[in-house]
Copies of this chain bind each other. A is one copy, B any other.
Amino acid sequence: MTLKMDANALMAFLRADFGQVAQDFVVERVAVEGLRLRMPVADRHLRPGGTVSGPSMFALADVALYLAILSRLGPVALAVTTNCAIDFMRKPAAGLDLLAEARILKLGRSLAVGDVMLFSEGNPEPVARASLTYAIPPAVPASPATK
């Protein structure tokens, strides 16, 4: 099994197609075993008390696994999140970046499934855990007419 996109290619894809969120994330490592995504925590991610908001953690998990799938399928694919189950287990530490460790558990023709652990940098105990499913659209052969 080989990867079709490396960290630079994934970041370029994010900037081109998801400009609004690209500044929130940094791909730190991508391999067949999984992908590590960093979220440099900024004021816009916080809730009262300095904790990172639930939607920000959801976004981190979702983007991490989405990029892991793209790294395998290449930029053609337009996977769509169909389901997410997320457990919020600990309050993220104030002032620390969040790291997501995403791994793909199944990459089928029409569905991909994976899970993600979220950590405050340097803390071994996860702040959250998520599993997500993506629908993968049927492959459309590129034709000169549609380019």
Copies in the complex: 4
Do residues B89 and A80 form an inter-chain contact, with CB atoms below 8 A?
A: no
Do residues B84 and A80 form an inter-chain contact, with CB atoms below 8 A?
A: no
Chain A residues near B (Cβ < 8 Å): 17-18, 20-21, 44, 46-48, 53-56, 58-59, 62, 80-90, 105-106, 110-111, 113, 115, 125-126, 129, 131, 133, 135
- 16 more contacts with CB within 8 A, not counting A82-B87, A83-B87, A87-B105, are A20-B47, A53-B59, A55-B56, A55-B58, A58-B58, A82-B111, A83-B88, A84-B84, A84-B88, A87-B131, A89-B105, A105-B126, A106-B126, A110-B110, A110-B135, A115-B115
